Chain A
Amino acid sequence: KQEVTQIPAALSVPEGENLVLNCSFTDSAIYNLQWFRQDPGKGLTSLLLIQSSQREQTSGRLNASLDKSSGRSTLYIAASQPGDSATYLCAVSSREKLTFGTGTRLTIIP
């Protein structure tokens, strides 16, 4: 059974800092890994999708890496802004469903 863990559960950093969110999964037989952002009471917004054959993906200030063999992914956010405050979720796609981590609640302090 696939299990996904995200560390830390919560993170507060001053505006402008670079930060890293971590995600680990137990079964390396995945199609891909997605990072999502969720604002309070809202749905999920896809940030980055990394295929199982890829090592990283970049979009603007965001960079996500994937090490399938070790079951790890990181989301790097450069030059953080108050608008980045949200819960960040990673999800692995396998056996025709997504398995989600519990998320990291990020607060950027102005």
Chain B
Amino acid sequence: KAGVTQTPRYLIKTRGQQVTLSCSPISGHRSVSWYQQTPGQGLQFLFEYFSETQRNKGNFPGRFSGRQFSNSRSEMNVSTLELGDSALYLCASSLSPGTSYGYTFGSGTRLTVV
């Protein structure tokens, strides 16, 4: 079965612009969560969605937002990009949140802000 699909794989944006990243979970998985990975901070939780509702949010500024559609696909948006937003953004899917099923990750979107 198809895994977690993230698009695009690579992205270069200018400071001040906004960006939208997409994540398609494994078929049947209804929970999608997002993580930011940087060399300095490691992997940090952004937010989790289940059935189109945000269930949990990490400690990130309001410039980071997301949504989930009825087909469980999720998008993450970052507005007014800063140089520090350069990171690998990873999406994970699971059958449901707070679950014993574990998480499956996509290959990530590498965002570079110049």
Chain A residues packing against B (C-beta within 8 Å): 31-32, 34, 36, 41-46, 49, 51-52, 89, 91, 93, 95-103
Contacts and interface: CB of A to CB of B under 8 A. Distances in A.
A38 B88 CA distance: 12
Nearest to B45: A97
B3 to A, nearest CB: 9
25 contacts: A31-B99, A32-B100, A34-B103, A36-B105, A42-B107, A42-B108, A43-B6, A44-B92, A44-B105, A45-B105, A46-B102, A46-B104, A89-B43, A91-B103, A93-B99, A93-B103, A96-B55, A96-B56, A96-B97, A96-B98, A97-B56, A98-B33, A98-B92, A101-B42, A102-B42
Given A31-B98, A97-B56, A41 B110 contact: yes
The 8 closest A-B pairs by CB, nearest first: A44-B105, A100-B43, A49-B102, A43-B107, A96-B97, A96-B98, A96-B56, A97-B45
B56 A46 contact: no
Given A43-B90, A43-B106, A98-B92, 16 more contacts: A31-B98, A31-B99, A32-B102, A42-B108, A43-B107, A44-B105, A45-B105, A46-B103, A51-B100, A91-B103, A96-B48, A97-B56, A98-B33, A99-B45, A100-B43, A103-B42
Given A96-B97, A97-B56, A43 B105 contact: yes
Interface of B: 6, 33, 35, 42-43, 45, 48, 55-56, 58, 88, 90, 92, 97-100, 102-108, 110
Q: Interface on chain B toward A: helix, strand, loop, or mixed SS?
A: strand
Contacts of A36: 105
Contacts of B108: 42-43
A89 B105 CA distance: 13
Q: Interface on chain A toward B: helix, strand, loop, or mixed SS?
A: strand
B48 A97 contact: yes
Nearest to A34: B102
B26 to A, nearest CB: 12
Contacts of A93: 98-99, 102-103
Nearest to B106: A43
Nearest to A101: B42
